[in-house]
Amino acid sequence: MEINPGVFKSRDIRGIYPLELNEDASFKIGQAFVAKTGSSKIVIGRDMRISSPELFEALAKGITSQGADVFSIGQVPTECLYFATVNYGYDAGIMITASHNPKEYNGFKMFKRVNSGLDFVRGKDLSEFIKDYPENMQGRGKIEVIDAWEGYIKHIFSFVKPEKIAPFKIVVDAGNGMAGKAIEKIKDMLACQINCINSEPDGSFPAHPSNPLEKGASKQISEEVVRNGADMGFIFDGDADRIYLIDEKGNFLQGDTTLLFIAKHLLKEHPGKAIVYNLICSKAVPEFVSKWGGIPIKTAVGVVELKKAMEDQDGILGGELSGHYLFKQNYCMDSGFISFLILLEIISESGLKVSEIAKEFSPYYKSAEINFTLKDKNKKLDKIKKKYSSGEQDFLDGITVDYGDWWFNLRPSQTEPLLRLTIEAGTKKLLEEKKKELSSAIKD
């Protein structure tokens, strides 16, 4: 059986179930993972996607057929898988999830433990190990079920002092993802009044798309925050590794603005440290980080790139426009719930409303990311490169062109057949003008 080569992404494995990624493919991926990593003890978590139980069974069979043992932690946020892999002494970990992708998708995020941290096992690298493997001569490995929740919750609370968190009125939109299970376990540990909507894990995503950035996905929570007179809201993606903040007026804060909330706080505790951000974040990020005495480090888009830069530059924090926030003391990995708790502590200590804090960090006008489905992404990138050759260009990830009073980035998605456009300008009028101009040029 041949596996569709398109599922092996630069960072992980993702595909439509069962057309591109099914039980047979999962079995072979399990075998290949053991061959690639040499692991004998592998912990597996999964999200709430409808196909996750079937993919787990097949993946576990592939792993155990090679003599390795599987330790199942069940339905958990992806960050719980990070914690269990490192802290319980397993050789490697696999999370069955397609993160924020539409319901038809599923996939694997894969890691190998290295000392007290994690290294990514990239999908494109694993593809080279896909073949027919004989049954292990010493016998099959075992499958054991364990509970990682207690240790994981202690870990995320180690980043804050819960007694400092004010008794806020909060709305949380779990998006029918894994955030609902986590909120249920931690809500009594906080003085806050938490109203969790779409809390039941459901891989069909009945309320709205798993990606909070999709059009209309945040409409419900924005309305709930205003209707309930809440102090703020939070919305998570499917596997809860991405988080977005909603202010008391129901406004959706972009991920780079929220990054600055956390960066200012951590630079007070760790002065002079590096803050890593990706190239589609607002130029306000490096400006404020420098102002606060930190070292801004720019990377391509993706958690893999941020993690590497944090490790190379001794970064204390990494963040993306997509709502991923990585912490040095979390193995330089992302965590929606560490971010959630730290933000509550920051806002508590400030004594200000969320909108008042955000106003300071938003001196420019930025569009939400605009996606274009195109047959020939590279041809279109070449066309835009030539059309905007008068600006300062760089090619760290796609093409970025800077004209001083405005800039844009156009890059290919690593997980979907899309070109993604980000634009920022000094005025709202200029932003709208350039958004219309570029959208027309890309569609033409």
99 is an active site residue: yes
Tell whether 261 and 305 lie within a shared domain: yes
Tell whether 135 and 21 lie within a shared domain: yes
Tell whether 57 and 133 lie within a shared domain: yes
Tell whether 131 and 18 lie within a shared domain: yes
CATH number at residue 201: 3.40.120.10
325-329, long-range: CB < 8 A, 24+ apart: 325/243, 325/258, 325/259, 325/262, 326/276, 327/159, 329/159
Residues 88-142 pLDDT 10s: 999 999 999 999 999 999 999 999 999 899 999 999 999 999 999 999 988 999 9
In a domain, 159, yes or no: no
DSSP state of 8: B
Question: Which ranges of the chain have pLDDT less than 70?
Answer: 1, 415
What whole-number distance in Å separates Cα of residue 38 and Cα of residue 355? 50
Tell whether 406 and 376 lie within a shared domain: yes
DSSP state of 177: S
Q: Which residues of 56-81 are buried (b: 16+ CB within 10 A; e: fewer)?
A: bebbbbbbbbbebbbbbbbebbbbbb
Tell whether 263 and 221 lie within a shared domain: no
Would you state the pLDDT for residue 375? 79
Compute CA distances 122 → 43, 68, 109, 335, whole Å: 17, 20, 8, 20
Cβ neighbours of residue 73 under 8 Å, at least 6 residues apart?
A: 43, 44, 45, 80, 81, 84, 145, 146, 147, 148
Say whether 174 sits in a helix, a strand or coil: coil
Range of the domain at 381: 365-443
Q: Give me the helices (H) in 187-254, please.
A: 219-227
Would you state the pLDDT for residue 38? 98
What whole-number distance in Å separates Cα of residue 69 and Cα of residue 142? 5
Containing 246, the helix (H) or strand (E) segment is strand 243-246
Query: What is the pTM assigned to this prediction?
Result: 0.95
Q: Give me the helices (H) in 297-376, please.
A: 303-313, 336-350, 354-360
Picking from 360, 382, 400, the residue at the C-terminal end of a domain is 360
What whole-number distance in Å separates Cα of residue 249 and Cα of residue 355? 8
- The answer, yes or no, to whether the previous bond of 18 is cis (omega within 30 of 0) is yes
Count of structural domains, the chain: 4
Tell whether 18 and 111 lie within a shared domain: yes
Would you state the pLDDT for residue 369? 86
Tell whether 237 and 353 lie within a shared domain: no
What whole-number distance in Å separates Cα of residue 444 and Cα of residue 442? 6
Tell whether 378 and 328 lie within a shared domain: no
What whole-number distance in Å separates Cα of residue 330 and Cα of residue 102? 28
Catalytic residue among 99, 222, 322, 335: 99
